[in-house]
Amino acid sequence: MPMESFLSEKAKAKLTEKFGVLANSFDHHVLSILALACDEGAVTNMRLRYSLNLHKSEIANILKLMTQKGLLVSEGYGRGMRYILPQKGSDFLNMATLELNVATSEANVATSKEANVATSIKKRMSPEELQSLIMTICNEWISLEDLSVKIERNSTYLRNHVIPLMLASRKLQMLYPGTPNHPTQQYKVSD
């Protein structure tokens, strides 16, 4: 059953008026958010947590991207931030090439193994899973800061707990083995 069949008639008409035929090509979550904004006048992160089965940070990322793409306009700040539909149809960014690639737990499967890591990282992992993920990313030399961003983990935690174990078990090697605190230290999977 097409997603648009779940939308109210008012929401269908308003979205088609604002976005044209592109309204049918939006991601499920984006379409749901836009429909709620049509029906209720505005949406908030808290309101969307009741409607979407997503974590508040994932909703915040989607709302931020939708605001950047011109699909929503933000009002207020912090917890009081509300999102409404834009007033003019001409304010949208090049709608013919608009793509909303939101990194949620269900959306967008990337083609390369390394790119896919960013969209499918679990928040809680066993030490073995975390080490396996690190080894996947460390095919080339990579700094601790870049590694922590890619796997969404605290660099201090990695530096003090994970990396030393991997170095001791010879799963990783250092670019500057004699100077562990070298300012440009990088890590790579052992040969």
Which domains does the chain carry? 3-97 (1.10.10.10), 113-189 (1.10.10)
Q: What is the DSSP letter of 159?
A: I
| Structure confidence by residue, pLDDT tens digits, 153-167 | 888 888 888 999 999
Residue 174, H or E segment: strand 172-174
pLDDT band at 142 (very low <50, low <70, confident <90, very high): very high
Say if CB 11 and CB 39 are below 8 A apart.
yes
Q: What is the DSSP letter of 104?
A: -
Range with the lowest mean pLDDT among 47-61, 85-99, 171-185? 85-99
| The pair of three-digit structure tokens given for residue 179, joined into one six-digit string | 């100077």
pLDDT band at 187 (very low <50, low <70, confident <90, very high): very high
Residues of the chain with pLDDT > 70, as a percent, come to 75
Phi, psi of 82 (to 5 degrees): -120, 155
pLDDT band at 27 (very low <50, low <70, confident <90, very high): confident
How many CA atoms does the CB half-sphere of 179 hold within 13 Å? 8
pLDDT band at 94 (very low <50, low <70, confident <90, very high): very low
Tell me the β-bridge partners of 84.
73
Q: What is the pLDDT of residue 66?
A: 87
Residue 172, H or E segment: strand 172-174
CA distances from 135 to 25, 138, 166 (A): 37, 5, 9
Mean pLDDT of 114-128: 63
Q: What is the pLDDT of residue 186?
A: 92
CA distances from 110 to 38, 106, 129, 134, 147 (A): 31, 12, 20, 18, 19
What span, in angstroms and rounded, lies between the C-alpha atoms of 127 and 84?
43
Range with the lowest mean pLDDT among 73-77, 83-87, 92-96, 176-180? 92-96
Across 42-69, b (16+ Cβ under 10 Å) vs e yields bbbbebbeeebebeeebbeebbebbeeb
This prediction has a pTM of: 0.44
